[in-house]
Amino acid sequence: MTDHADVQSHRAVTRRIADALFRCAAALGAGALLFLSFPPRTTWFFAPLGIAVLTLMLRGRSVRAGFGYGYLAGLAFFVPLLPWVGAYVGAVPWLALAAIEAVAVGLFGAIAALVSRLPLSTVWVACAWVATEAVRARAPFGGFPWGRLAFGQVDGILLPLAEIAGAPGLSFALAVMGTGLAACVIQARTRRWRSSMGNAVLISIPVLLALSLSPTTVPNRDMTTVAVIQGNVPRLGLDFNAQRRAVLDNHLARTEQLAADVAAGRARRPQLVIWPENASDIDPLLNKDAADRIDAAAQTMGVPVLVGAVLIGEGNTTLNSAIVWDPVSGPGQQHVKRQLVPFGEYLPLRTVMTAVSPYANQAGKFVAGNGNGVVELNGVPLAVATCYEVAFDDLVSESVRAGAQLITVPTNNATFGRTDMTYQQLAMSRVRAVEHGRSVLVAATSGVSAIIEPDGTVQQQSRIFTADALVGAIPLRTDLTLATRLGSVPELVLALLVVPAILIAVRRRLRHTATKPGSN
């Protein structure tokens, strides 16, 4: 009798271990599917599939197990998504960031496991995804929205939804498709065909809505011609800043070449010219030679140039600035980058971090700017979202509501080498175009630069690590999309919707525990 009981106990343990290993593998697979939905790949449909697989693994699990499986999925998502972080500083920063960001997916897993047995759980689980994305977009150290589900959808059929509810609404639609698909699988297995059909209808709603949308914004001013300059850098890596004069010279040379092409009739004359972030790491407000060269380039073009420049601040600090450089009056309005990169442009907890790691002192001493991110270039108000800033919803929305008629994204991605980073950032810029109904100009030091139309279409695109000048006609728009008007409201509503579901689920679990035999 004892032997039989031992055998049964051993089999039960083996089954539990096998089930846990299977769920771990499935969670890792779900995270891999999420990663594969991001550019430069165009397999956007892997995103709802990844959510579906993860949701299936979480159903009926404990909160602790849900966090564990979610965290594994997060690692499988962020580790391959973010290797560019360590391109020239080693694997430690990359893996540390991935491990931190995976906590948000772990939190999603805990919530999803908790609410998975509630009625309408497909909606509550999707809301949980939006809520955890919102948290990691704000914390720690100002947040890191990179890897938001919506940013992988530039080639997907749901992209038009960004015009209604922004990036959070697009993420929600994808999550609903994933959770609805998981529910269909479960209900089909238990032959609950009516419920399965209901979830099939739920899955189809975002698709039908996206397909029914047509652009609601229309040009209300003439088209304007713009130029995006990509000067390229002398070599890859962090040390390219040591050759800052060569970087400035490259952008001057490409601008002067464009001016020659315009004079010869080989190119249209632009009304405004955009340089990338860090095009001049020599402070042109202090260095007369740099100022004279930029003056000459602007005068040759005959139109204002938006110059990305690093300026010297007070107390050995620096400013990441975009300066309007007029061909007549010289430097004018500035946008100083408001959302700085922690551990890159500045070092949080500097005393502690320098004691922990010798690499910490490599972080910059940039100071964040303020304002609404709008400058005027040749009479055109434009939003400036410098590099990292394009990932943050509220910054771009504020600029467009303040009157920006187009969006510029000056960026310096030479530091990250030949990685997926530049394509991921380009995808964010395309989402912003649809979200706000604005053309977007991406100006990169080393690529990829692009001219993006308001529907997210890439009109022109440069090659990486190639000097280039993109010249194209774009519409200027002043009307606002619904997403711009609503701002963060959809994200807030969706995130708050999961709170009562969590409270109800906790109450049910406590009641179930109290009624179990032996609980007293």
Position 187, amino acid: Q
Do 237 and 188 sit in the same domain of this protein? no
Coil, strand or helix: which one is 201? helix
pLDDT digits (tens, 9 = 90+) for 72-127: 999 999 999 999 887 766 788 889 999 999 999 999 999 999 999 899 999 999 99
**What are the tokens at 428?**
């964010």
pLDDT tier for residue 390 given thresholds of 50, 70 and 90: very high
Token look-up 């912003």 returns 432
337 given a catalytic annotation: yes
Do 55 and 81 sit in the same domain of this protein? yes
| Catalytic option among 101, 133, 387, 453 | 387
Report yes or no on 232 lying in a domain.
Answer: yes
* pLDDT mean over 353-357: 67
277 given a catalytic annotation: yes
pLDDT the model gives residue 470: 98
Asked if omega into 219 is within 30° of 0 (cis), the reply is no
Q: For residue 72, give its domain range.
A: 2-215+490-515
**Residue 480: is it exposed, middle or buried by C-beta count within 10 angstroms (0-12/13-18/19+)?**
middle
Report yes or no on 343 lying in a domain.
Answer: no
In the predicted model, what is the mean pLDDT of the chain? 90
- Bridge partners (DSSP) of residue 326 are 330
Could you give the number of structural domains in the chain?
A: 2
Task: Report the distance separating Cα 487 and Cα 301, nearest Å.
Answer: 37
Report yes or no on 206 lying in a domain.
Answer: yes
Question: Is the Cβ–Cβ distance between 120 and 64 less than 8 Å?
Answer: no
Do 404 and 468 sit in the same domain of this protein? yes
Do 159 and 266 sit in the same domain of this protein? no
pLDDT the model gives residue 344: 80
pLDDT the model gives residue 88: 65
pLDDT digits (tens, 9 = 90+) for 127-139: 999 999 999 999 9
Do 134 and 98 sit in the same domain of this protein? yes
Checking if the pLDDT of 428 tops 60, the result is yes
Checking if the pLDDT of 12 tops 60, the result is yes
pLDDT digits (tens, 9 = 90+) for 290-301: 999 999 999 999
Do 506 and 387 sit in the same domain of this protein? no
Cα 421–226–306 angle (5° rounding)?
70
387 given a catalytic annotation: yes
Checking if the pLDDT of 519 tops 60, the result is no
Do 202 and 231 sit in the same domain of this protein? no
SS3 for 279-303 is CECCCCCCCHHHHHHHHHHHHHHCC
- Bridge partners (DSSP) of residue 375 are 382
Among 126, 112, 125, 104, smallest CA distance to 65 is for: 112
Task: Report the distance separating Cα 431 and Cα 154, nearest Å.
Answer: 6
Coil, strand or helix: which one is 151? helix
Give the number of other Cβ atoms within 10 Å of residue 155's Cβ.
16
Report yes or no on 414 lying in a domain.
Answer: yes
pLDDT the model gives residue 498: 96
**What are the tokens at 234?**
């002398």
Task: Report the distance separating Cα 373 and Cα 96, nearest Å.
Answer: 31
Report yes or no on 311 lying in a domain.
Answer: yes
Task: Report the distance separating Cα 214 and Cα 219, nearest Å.
Answer: 14
**Which DSSP letter does residue 172 get?**
H
Task: Report the distance separating Cα 262 and Cα 256, nearest Å.
Answer: 10
Residue 198 vs residue 176, higher pLDDT: 176
pLDDT the model gives residue 188: 78
Give the percent of the chain with pLDDT over 90: 74
Do 376 and 410 sit in the same domain of this protein? yes
Task: Report the distance separating Cα 402 and Cα 508, nearest Å.
Answer: 47
Question: Is the Cβ–Cβ distance between 414 and 388 less than 8 Å?
Answer: no
CA-only gyration radius of the chain, Å? 25
Coil, strand or helix: which one is 380? strand
Among 327, 329, 336, 338, smallest CA distance to 308 is for: 336
Question: Is the Cβ–Cβ distance between 394 and 487 less than 8 Å?
Answer: yes
Do 160 and 291 sit in the same domain of this protein? no
| Catalytic option among 337, 398, 453, 491 | 337
Position 275, amino acid: W
pLDDT the model gives residue 3: 66
pLDDT tier for residue 346 given thresholds of 50, 70 and 90: confident
Question: Is the Cβ–Cβ distance between 56 and 186 less than 8 Å?
Answer: yes
Containing 470, the helix (H) or strand (E) segment is: strand 468-474
Task: Report the distance separating Cα 173 and Cα 148, nearest Å.
Answer: 13
Question: Is the Cβ–Cβ distance between 97 and 70 less than 8 Å?
Answer: no
**Which DSSP letter does residue 268 get?**
P
| Catalytic option among 101, 133, 277, 389 | 277
Residue 82 vs residue 19, higher pLDDT: 82
Do 155 and 250 sit in the same domain of this protein? no
Give the number of other Cβ atoms within 10 Å of residue 134's Cβ.
22
Do 80 and 143 sit in the same domain of this protein? yes
Do 94 and 23 sit in the same domain of this protein? yes
pLDDT the model gives residue 15: 84
pLDDT the model gives residue 186: 86
**Residue 3: is it exposed, middle or buried by C-beta count within 10 angstroms (0-12/13-18/19+)?**
exposed
Sequence length of the chain is: 520
Quick one: how far is CA 354 from the chain centroid?
A: 29
Report yes or no on 359 lying in a domain.
Answer: no
Task: Report the distance separating Cα 128 and Cα 185, nearest Å.
Answer: 20
Give the number of other Cβ atoms within 10 Å of residue 25's Cβ.
12
pLDDT the model gives residue 520: 44
Task: Report the distance separating Cα 98 and Cα 294, nearest Å.
Answer: 40
Task: Return the C-alpha torsion angle 481, 484, 489, 491, nearest 10.
Answer: 90
Containing 323, the helix (H) or strand (E) segment is: strand 318-326
**Residue 89: is it exposed, middle or buried by C-beta count within 10 angstroms (0-12/13-18/19+)?**
middle
Report yes or no on 465 lying in a domain.
Answer: yes
Among 270, 279, 253, 280, smallest CA distance to 411 is for: 279
CATH at 386: 3.60.110.10
Q: Is the dihedral of CA 70, 71, 76, 82 positive or negative?
A: positive
pLDDT the model gives residue 201: 84
